[in-house]
Amino acid sequence: MNIDQFATRELSPADARKMAQQALDEPDLFDALVARGAVETSLKIPAVRAALSTPAPRKQWRLHFARWRPRGSS
Amino acid sequence: MSETRDALTDYRRLLNALESRARRMGSRDAESAAQETLKRSLENAISQPAVEYYFSDELPPDAVPPAWPLDQLMAWLHGILHFVVLEEHNRSGNRREFSGWARGADARNRLDPPDPAPDQLDALIQRELQQIVIDCLPALDADYRRVLKMRASGLKYGDIAERLGVSENTVATWVSRGIRTLALSVRRRTQRHKAAR
């Protein structure tokens, strides 16, 4: 069983119960379920849907020359 | 009293998991925070059946699967725990602030504001989770945004596939990857939250 099975709702309720028990011993799985639940729940909220409509910001690359120092100069 | 004791026994493993999360969130009384979270979850008519189904030690053979999927319950539990730990921080902050001048019944009234009703608590948690997700949206590529938006507005995979001229499998993959990407950002954000406390 893994977290991706949640995306397509492949897990039966009984399997989900097993995963719930597994998550009690695995904090990473617990965290992953929390995050996925937050996303799934929020997608139903109009404010989040509206935010999805705003265009994604363009990635900006910045070069920090000012921070560069020759090796051994610090 | 005996109901509380039963709940403590029935959900011992859940309480342990919540307690260690509360500690990571910076709670000074993680055991009480975990118990309070469980109590509030069992008092809420919607979360109660989900907690019982997924986390009780013994599941009755005739148990009906709850309306909430597991991930929704986990997000809810995290939200409640976060709220309870915040309340604890606020109370200890208030105590420091007011201990110099508020005494007796007056002090108690000031230090222990009434708990929000379950509906208000639900709204608070929703708002917080919603803000985290909105903050994480810039991490999503435009294609993923587009399919997630269509899915969120109630379109079925078949409808989305027709509109975009791709197969249903492709739509399912995009939705799945979009949610995974967003969930990863949300997870990083909630972990940063915990580490910062």
Residue B151 lies in domain: 140-197
- What's residue B142's pLDDT? 83
Residues B6 and B101 grouped into a single domain: yes
How near does any CA of chain B get to the CA of A67, in Å? 26
Q: In this prediction, what percent of chain A has a pLDDT beyond 70?
A: 64
Q: How many CB pairs under 8 A join A and B?
A: 143
User: B interface mutation test: which of A36, A53, A59 has the most B CBs within 10 A?
Assistant: A36
Q: Is residue A45 part of a domain?
A: yes
Does residue A51 belong to the interface with chain B, where contact is any CB pair within 8 Å?
yes
pLDDT beneath 70, residues of chain B: 1-7, 93-122, 191-197
Is residue A6 within 8 Å of B174, Cβ to Cβ? Answer: no
Give the containing element (helix H, strand E) for B118: helix B118-136
Contacts of residue A8 in chain B, CB cutoff 8 Å?
Answer: 172, 176
Q: Quick check: B16 and A21 CB within 8 A?
A: no
Query: pTM for the whole thing?
Result: 0.73
- What's residue B15's pLDDT? 95
- What's residue B14's pLDDT? 95
Q: Is residue B97 part of a domain?
A: yes
Read off the pLDDT of residues A16-46 as tens digits, 9 standing for 90 and up.
999 999 999 999 889 888 888 888 888 888 8
Q: Quick check: B70 and A6 CB within 8 A?
A: yes
Residue A42 lies in domain: 14-52
Which of the 8 DSSP states describes residue A71?
T
Residues B17 and B110 grouped into a single domain: yes
Q: Tokens for A19? A: 């995963």
- What's residue B134's pLDDT? 84
- What's residue B153's pLDDT? 84
ipTM of the complex: 0.74
Q: Is residue B53 part of a domain?
A: yes
- What's residue A40's pLDDT? 83
